[in-house]
Amino acid sequence: MGMGNAPILILREGTKRDKGKDAQYNNITAARAIADAVRSSLGPRGMDKMLVDSMGDVVITNDGVTILKEMDVQHPAAKMLVEVAKTQDAEVGDGTTTSVILAGELLKKATDMIDANVHPTLITAGYRLANLKAQEVLKKVAMKVSMKDDKLLKQIAENAMISKQVGGSKEFFAEMVVDAVKTIIEKDDKGNYTADLKNIQTVKKAGASMEESQLVKGLILDKEPVSPAMPKKVVGAKIAIVDAAFELKKTEIDAKIQITDPSQLAAFVREEENMLKEMVNTVKRSGANVVFCQKGIDDLAQHFFAKEGIYACRRVKKSDMERLAKSTKANICNKIVEISAEDLGYAESVELKVIENEEMTFITGCKEPKTVSILVRGGTNHVADEVERSLVDAWSVVKVSIEDGMIVTGGGSTAMEIAMQLRDYAASVGGREQIAIEAFASAMEIIPTTLAENAGLDPIDINIQMRKEHKAGKVNAGLNPFTGKIEDMRKLNVIEPLRIGKQAINSATDAAVMILRIDDVIASKSSPMPEYGSGDDMPSMDDD
C-alpha cells in the first residue's frame, strides 16, 4: 500500500489552526477591538458605557478596568489586553484605559510593518528598545512631590476623578481622599512611606446626594447591638474584641444526661445561667463597656450584657475585627476567661446611627487611627457604585504619588514628549529597529489624539500644535479639552503619578510583544458535556 496520499492526523478532529500572518492578523484585530471598546471613555470629556450582564444587572461607568471585567471576552488575544488593564489597576489603580489604548495602537502600527515584510522579531526588538528609552524620558520629565504638598495631592485626586460622575464634586471628595490616605500612611523600616489601602473601608448607602458622603476616622460596622435594651451611645468606649462565642459549648461526643428530679433540672438550668453570667462578668471586670464578637452571643448572655449597660455586637467580620484592633489598639482575645484591661482598645465614641432605615455602628475618636471608613452616598445604587469606583481610583493615585514621590504632567503632554524624543533616538539606532521605534513614537501620540477626539476637536490639528510646542522646548505643553487649546499642564495643575505612565507603557509593550511573537494558534474543539440518560448510563456517586 502506498502511503503517499494518506493524511496524517496529529490534532483532534475539529481543532482549528491559524498560521503565519493569518494568526497574527486575527490576534491583532481581536486586541484592537478591545482597545476601541474603551477608547471613547478616555479623558475628562470621555463618555460612559452601560454594561448589562446575563442576569440583567446594569453597570454604568467609564472606568476602563470595570468595563473590561464586565465584558464577556472570549478571544485569547483579547483576554491578554484585559489582563493589561487588570495589572494596571492592581499596580496603580488608575490609567487602565490609557494602557489598553496604547497596547492596541502598538499592535495597529505593527500591522503596517508586517505588511511591509518587517519580521515580528525585529518589531519586538525595536519596541523593547523604545520602551527602555520611554522610561528614561519619563524619569527625566518627572517632578517631585512630598506628603506635605496637600495642594498638589488634592489636585492629583481631582484629576483622577474629573472624568467620572463625581467630577462636579471633585474638590469635596479630593479633600476627603487625601485626608484618608494621610491617616493610614505608615513608614517602613527603611523610612519609606507605605499605605495599605485595605485599611480604607467603604460603606455604600443610596438615597442621598453624593456630597452627603462622610469620612470617619475609625470604623463603620454594618451591625447593631444584639439587644434593644443596650445603650445607643457609649462615650469613652473601652472596647473588647473577642474571637470566641458567648455561648455554652455542646459536648464533642454523644452524651446522655439523666435527670430524675425536678430540682435537678432547675440546678442544671441555673448552672448554665451561671456559666454565661460569669463570661459577661469577666468582660465587666476587665473594664470593657463595648464588646465586638466574631461569633455568636447567647440570648441569656445578651440579657446580662444589657443589664450591665454593655454595648455588644455579634458576627462581626474578620476583616472588620482586624481593622478595629488596628484603630483602637485592642488585642483580639481568643479566650473569654483571659480578657483583661490590657487587651482593651479605646475610642471616644461608639454610637448606633440609622442610615436609610439600616442600623449601623460608628466607632470614632480613636487616638491614632490607622483605618478610616467612608460612608458613600448616591441618589441610586448605580450612582453610589460609581462614586465608590471613583474614590478607589483617587486614593490609589494619591497613595502611589506619596510612595514614589514623583509626578508628571497629563493632558497628553508626557506622551507627546516621549514621542518627540523617541523619533530623535530612532535615528541614532538605525537598522530596521529604527522603523519599529518610530512606530512606537507614533503610537504614543494616540493619547493626545484620543483626548482631542473625545473633546470633539480635530486630532490632526491638535497633534501638529503640540509637536510645535514641544519642539520649542515646552515639555509640559498639553491639551486642555475644555478650551481646545494647547496650554502648560503644570500651570493648570494637570498632574498624575509617575507610576501611571511607567506601568502603562511597560504593560502595553509587554502585551504587544507577546501577541506579535505568536505565529501559530491551535485551538482545540471544546468537548461537549456528556448527556446522561436514566438507569445504568448515570455514573454512581459511590464510584471511586
pLDDT value, residue 208:
85
Share of the chain above pLDDT 70, in %: 88
What domains lie within the chain, and their CATH numbers?
16-144+408-523 (1.10.560.10), 146-217+369-404 (3.30.260.10), 223-354 (3.50.7.10)
Q: What is the pLDDT of residues 437-483, one digit of tens each?
A: 999 999 999 999 999 999 999 999 999 999 999 999 999 999 999 89
Cell of 225: 447591638
Average pLDDT over residues 284-301: 90
Q: What is the pLDDT of residues 218-274, one digit of tens each?
A: 888 888 999 899 999 999 999 999 998 888 766 555 666 666 667 666 665 677 788
Pairing of strands 200-206, 358-364: unpaired
Identify the burial level of 361 via C-beta atoms within 10 angstroms of its C-beta, where 0-12 means exposed, 13-18 middle and 19 or more buried: buried
Cell of 257: 444526661
pLDDT value, residue 413:
93
Average pLDDT over residues 352-371: 86
Q: Would you call 63 a catalytic residue per the annotation?
A: yes
Position with higher pLDDT, 233 vs 542 = 233
pLDDT value, residue 543:
46
pLDDT value, residue 259:
66
pLDDT value, residue 380:
87
Share of the chain above pLDDT 90, in %: 32
pLDDT bracket for residue 290 (50, 70, 90): very high
Q: Would you call 96 a catalytic residue per the annotation?
A: yes
Please check the confidence at residue 333 and state whether its pLDDT lies above 70: yes
Q: Please tell me which residue in 89, 385, 393, 510 is annotated as part of the active site.
A: 393
On whether the CB atoms of residues 282 and 337 are closer than 8 A, the answer is yes
Q: Please tell me which residue in 61, 63, 320, 510 is annotated as part of the active site.
A: 63
Cβ atoms within 10 A of the Cβ of 167, count?
Answer: 13
pLDDT value, residue 246:
87
Q: Please tell me which residue in 66, 97, 328, 371 is annotated as part of the active site.
A: 97
pLDDT value, residue 147:
84
Please check the confidence at residue 544 and state whether its pLDDT lies above 50: no
pLDDT value, residue 531:
47
Average pLDDT over residues 182-197: 82
pLDDT bracket for residue 421 (50, 70, 90): very high
Q: Please tell me which residue in 96, 183, 414, 509 is annotated as part of the active site.
A: 96
Average model confidence (pLDDT) across the chain: 85
Q: Is the pTM of this model over 0.75?
A: yes
pLDDT bracket for residue 170 (50, 70, 90): confident
Please check the confidence at residue 201 and state whether its pLDDT lies above 60: yes
pLDDT bracket for residue 530 (50, 70, 90): very low
Q: CA-to-CA distance for 330 and 171, rounded, in angstroms?
A: 35
Please check the confidence at residue 191 and state whether its pLDDT lies above 90: no
Please check the confidence at residue 486 and state whether its pLDDT lies above 70: yes
Position with higher pLDDT, 291 vs 357 = 291
Q: How far is CA 395 from CA 132, 151, 178, 251, 314, in A?
A: 29, 15, 7, 50, 31
Please check the confidence at residue 101 and state whether its pLDDT lies above 50: yes
pLDDT value, residue 57:
82
Q: Which amino acid appears at position 483 of this protein?
A: T
The kind and range of the H/E element at 276 are: helix 262-286
Q: What is the pLDDT of residues 363-408, one digit of tens each?
A: 988 888 888 889 998 888 888 888 888 898 888 999 999 988 899 9
Cβ atoms within 10 A of the Cβ of 152, count?
Answer: 19
Place of cell 455514573: 539
